[in-house]
Chain A
Amino acid sequence: MKIKNQLFGEIEFSEEKIIKFPEGIIGFEEFKKFLLVNSGNPLFLWLVSIDEPELIFPLFGIKALFDDYPTFEDFEPFGIVKLDPDPIKMTINVKAPILINQDRNEGFQKILDDDRYPIDYKLFIEK
């Protein structure tokens, strides 16, 4: 199977790579099938909609940021990143993680009821 977008050109994938989001992603509920692309650059993963390939969410693994982040059984938490040409302005949403189970190919977005995790956590700081 193939999809095409401006960022990656043509992406070829097999059916078992499709990650189903039965509830969609908040604000994009109509899109239920995504691919997790880990090429392009070494820092981010990209959640690409199969039905609308120009719809792409940059993701970053949240476990690398917080030692005590909640666990969600077999689901791995990723944060949606707001990219910016100035990296100090990049933020990651750790309030509403994208949870993905790569064995079962399932995902959903969950909103945490915990004020320690903001929607706009600064991804980078100065060394």
Chain B
Amino acid sequence: MLVLTRKPQEEIKIGKDIVVKVISISENSVKIGIEAPKEMVIMRAELYQKVKENNVEATKNVSLNLPENLKDLKVNKLNKRKNERKEKD
């Protein structure tokens, strides 16, 4: 792995389209800004892993059968007003 030392506001260029900038640093975190073409997927690595695991899980035990007790339930629709109320709580 290439390791470079950078100070806040300094940048690293990757290829001709990507710039990674150190915005600020604090005791245990670094704020990083990334400029890249919009078709490039950029995300926190642990989030990618979580989505991947969820996708894999969802493909297991796929069945067309609907559970019997579905009639006692309703779709968990979250309307805007409820959402705002939730944020206040």
Q: With A55-B59, A57-B59, A86-B67 in contact, do A123 and B51 touch (Cβ < 8 Å)?
A: no
Q: How far is the CA of A7 from the CA of B51 in the complex (A)?
A: 24
Cα of A119 to Cα of B50 in the assembled complex, Å: 8
Q: Which residues of A contact B48 (CB under 8 A)?
A: 26, 111
Complex Cα distance, B55 from A5, in Å, reads 19
Does B73 lie within 8 Å of A88, measured CB to CB?
A: yes
Contact present for B55 and A68 (CB under 8 Å): no
Q: A19 in the interface, Cβ–Cβ < 8 Å?
A: no
Distance to closest chain B CB from A103 (angstroms)? 20
- Within the assembled complex, what's the spacing in Å between the Cα atoms of A110 and B67? 30
- Given known contacts A87-B73, A111-B43, A126-B73, is B55 in contact with A27 (CB within 8 Å)? yes
Chain A residues with Cβ under 8 A from B51's Cβ?
A: 26-27, 93, 95-96, 109, 111, 119
- A57→B58 contact, CB < 8 A: yes
User: Could you say which of B4-12, B17-25, B29-37, B76-84 contacts chain A?
Assistant: B76-84
State the interface size on chain A (CB cutoff 8 A): 44
CA separation between A85 and B84, bound complex, in Å?
32
Name the B residues within 8 Å of A120 (CB-CB).
Answer: 54
A49 to B42 alpha-carbon distance, docked (Å): 25
Interface size, B (range): 20 to 34
Bound together, the chains give a CA A87 to CA B33 distance in angstroms of 41
CB pair B78 A26 closer than 8 Å: no
The answer to whether the Cβ of B66 comes within 8 Å of any Cβ in the partner chain is yes
Residue of B nearest to A27 (CB): B52
Given the known inter-chain contacts A7-B62, A82-B58, please indicate yes or no for A26 contacting B79, CB distance below 8 A. Answer: no
Indicate if B56 sits at the interface (CB-CB under 8 A).
yes
CB-based contact B54/A82 at 8 Å: yes
Please state if A65 and B76 are interface contacts (CB–CB under 8 Å): yes
